[in-house]
Amino acid sequence: TVLIVDFGSQVTQLIARRVREAGVYSEIVPFQQAEEGFRRIAPKAMILSGGPASAADEGSPRAPDAIFAAGIPVLGICYGQQVMCAQLGGGVEGGHHREFGRAFLDIAAQSPLFEGVWPKGTRHQVWMSHGDRVTALPDGFEVIGTSSGAPCAAIADEERRFYAVQFHPEVVHTPDGAKLISNFVHRIAGLAGDWTMAAYRDQAIAAIREKVGDGHVICGLSGGVDSSVAAVLLHEAIGDRLTCILVDHGLMRKNEATEVLELFREHYNIPLVHADVADLFIDALEGEADPEVKRKTIGKLFIDVFEAEAKKLAVDGKTAEFLAQGTLYPDVIESVSFAGGPSVTIKSHHNVGGLPERMNMQLVEPLRELFKDEVRELGRELGLPERFIGRHPFPGPGLAIRCPGGVTRDKLEILREADAIYLDEIRKAGLYDAIWQAFAVLLPVQTVGVMGDGRTYEFVCALRAVTSVDGMTADFYPYDMDFLGRTATRIINEVRGINRVVYDVTSKPPGTIEWE
Ligand code: XMP
């Protein structure tokens, strides 16, 4: 087992996942429980995650000293690197040199951590997100890699098998990062493994059966890959004790609800209820501008609808006891400080932090540990048609979080039309599968334009498209200008209410994929 100490990084689960990809079992413990976890698990190797604190500050979180005396390999990442240095006698300095996003690492020495990928003297892309840096090495350490903002970007004490890096090897924007983690668990810690998605599927089915017993489950189905995979997995686990509900909240894309219903009914024989509740949602949101209030309002209404539908479906006065959702790990980590853990809430994803505190059903979330691409892999394992698997993600709160400022019916209509044209152009250009997610955002800003010799004063539409593997980090998609020009012209000509189109070129971090 590899034990991962979580200092509250947004991407700690990605470390677990990279270890999983290397076929090795791992567990994550919040730093407050690291000492206890270390004793209970007796790990063969440790990884210290990043986190929002500053190791230079007094009283900031530390790793248990015992792990450095146990003779096992330790890998520190970002904050984990600084903690390691601070605890082993090195120096850390608070942030003058903030580095966010892409950076380049120069390899200063040969190391088993870099074996097979990064020879001495070469330069490689890495992903940074930090404000502090290491300024003095603890005894026994040498610099094995440098970047312009971090002279000690990668350091090692080969003898004690301690490694520490300032960048994030766990994110895909460090293209060789997975190999580094695999080197750490295989070459350095000497671990081998046999974790597979088929094993995961069997485990997940057994866990659902155990949790649900002979109860009934209602599953929210949006047509996205997560809820579809959750539904099919549940169906395998509990058969006809599952009913799916499509909550048509008036915040879906153009024609989306109809398409999803048809697609699902064509392929599966799972009872599927269409709840047409657009007025309920839009009346509640009308004029609301605060993103968190929007998300929470939507989360609460979802539950109201599920509970009302569960009542309608009750057999002999007995309603469904369980509500299943396709919640993924990124939804969890960005919404809550998991298990009382140390991370900061970024936004309340409707199916996690947006849920009301009191609800009458228990949650079943079989995908809670997984990332989107792992869910796609699980979907293939379950035999889902590619049409489900290849769909772009679409958030539960839908178009409401793509209408910054107040949501109104008119704005939703404008946005829906612009979004449909944008996606149509993407499909026509053959780009749909190359893009992780694309959508339009209607800004609450009007600007002056001139059309047909007349003055216009209308809204701005922002287009967003990103590439990503798991939604945790992302890069904007590099369209060619012809594509952007063509799409902007069509939107302005065909959609009343928009007279200007802009393209969002922000990566994640520092942006998020959605605007709210
Ligand atoms: P952000 O905006 O946090 O989004 O970078 C990461 C991914 O999650 C999707 N997303 C959501 N999905 N419920 C969902 O089911 C939500 O409340 C929610 N908010 C964001 C987002 O579309 C992107 O794919």
225 is in an annotated binding site: yes
Which pLDDT value is given to residue 356?
Answer: 65
75 shares its domain with 49 = yes
Is 290 a domain residue?
Answer: yes
453 shares its domain with 346 = no
CA 354 to centroid of ligand 1, rounded, Å = 12
159 shares its domain with 225 = no
- Phi, psi angle pair for 429, to nearest 5°: -80, 0
The C-alpha atoms of residue 150 and residue 142 are separated, in whole angstroms, by: 14
Is residue 352 within 6 Å of ligand 1 at its C-beta? no
Is the distance from CB of 272 to CB of 494 less than 8 angstroms?
A: no
Q: Give the pTM.
A: 0.74
374 shares its domain with 255 = yes
Is residue 43 within 6 Å of ligand 1 at its C-beta? no
Is 323 a domain residue?
Answer: yes
Is 400 a domain residue?
Answer: no
Chain-centroid distance of CA 183 in Å reads: 25
- Please classify residue 231 by burial: count the beta carbons closer than 10 Å to its beta carbon, then call 0-12 exposed, 13-18 middle and 19+ buried: buried
Q: What CATH number does the domain containing 463 carry? A: 3.30.300.10
Q: What CATH number does the domain containing 295 carry? A: 3.40.50.620
Is residue 395 within 6 Å of ligand 1 at its C-beta? yes
160 shares its domain with 116 = yes
Of all protein residues, whose CA lies closest to atom 22 belonging to ligand 1? 395
Of 389, 421, 437, which marks where a domain is finished?
389
344 is in an annotated binding site: no
Is 352 a domain residue?
Answer: yes
Is residue 437 within 6 Å of ligand 1 at its C-beta? yes
Listed in order, strand segments (DSSP E) in 111-237 are: 123-130, 133-136, 142-146, 154-157, 162-165, 217-220
359 shares its domain with 412 = no
Is 167 a domain residue?
Answer: yes
Residues with Cβ < 8 Å from 348, sequence gap 6 or more? 292, 295, 296, 299, 335, 354
226 is in an annotated binding site: yes
301 shares its domain with 333 = yes
Q: Which atom of ligand 1 is nearest to the CA of 350?
A: 17
Spans of the chain, pLDDT less than 70: 95-98, 332-358
Of all protein residues, whose CA lies closest to atom 6 belonging to ligand 1? 471
Is 415 a domain residue?
Answer: yes
Q: What CATH number does the domain containing 16 carry? A: 3.40.50.880
For residue 112, give both structure tokens: 């088993």
Of all protein residues, whose CA lies closest to atom 20 belonging to ligand 1? 395
Is residue 397 within 6 Å of ligand 1 at its C-beta? yes
The C-alpha atoms of residue 111 and residue 119 are separated, in whole angstroms, by: 8
373 shares its domain with 243 = yes
Catalytic annotation, pick one of 168, 173, 216, 249: 168
78 tagged catalytic = yes
For residue 380, give both structure tokens: 């293939």
Q: How many domains does the chain have?
A: 3
177 shares its domain with 247 = no
482 is in an annotated binding site: no
Is 508 a domain residue?
Answer: no
376 shares its domain with 447 = no
Which pLDDT value is given to residue 198?
Answer: 87
Is residue 296 within 6 Å of ligand 1 at its C-beta? no
Q: Containing domain of residue 327, as a range?
A: 203-389
- Please classify residue 409 by burial: count the beta carbons closer than 10 Å to its beta carbon, then call 0-12 exposed, 13-18 middle and 19+ buried: middle
Provide long-range contacts, Cβ within 8 A and 24+ apart, for 378-384: 378/197, 378/200, 378/201, 378/204, 378/229, 378/233, 379/225, 379/228, 379/229, 379/232, 381/197, 381/198, 381/201, 382/201, 382/229, 382/232, 382/233, 382/236, 384/225, 384/228, 384/229, 384/232
218 shares its domain with 366 = yes
Q: What is the full DSSP assignment across 408-472?
A: -HHHHHHHHHHHHHHHHHHHHTT-GGG-SEEEEEEEEEEEEEEETTEEEEEEEEEEEEEE-SSSS
Q: What is the ipTM of this complex?
A: 0.97
Pocket test for ligand 1, best of 513, 515, 516 (most atoms within 8 A of CB): 513
111 is in an annotated binding site: no
Straight-line distance from the first to the last Cα atom of the chain, in angstroms, rounded to the nearest whole number: 38
Which pLDDT value is given to residue 239?
Answer: 95
365 shares its domain with 420 = no
Is residue 351 within 6 Å of ligand 1 at its C-beta? yes
Of 188, 220, 236, which marks where a domain is finished?
188
Pocket test for ligand 1, best of 172, 247, 293, 331 (most atoms within 8 A of CB): 331
CA 441 to centroid of ligand 1, rounded, Å = 14
Number of neighbours of residue 492 by Cβ within 10 angstroms: 20
Is 194 a domain residue?
Answer: no
274 tagged catalytic = no
Pairing of strands 154-157, 162-165: antiparallel
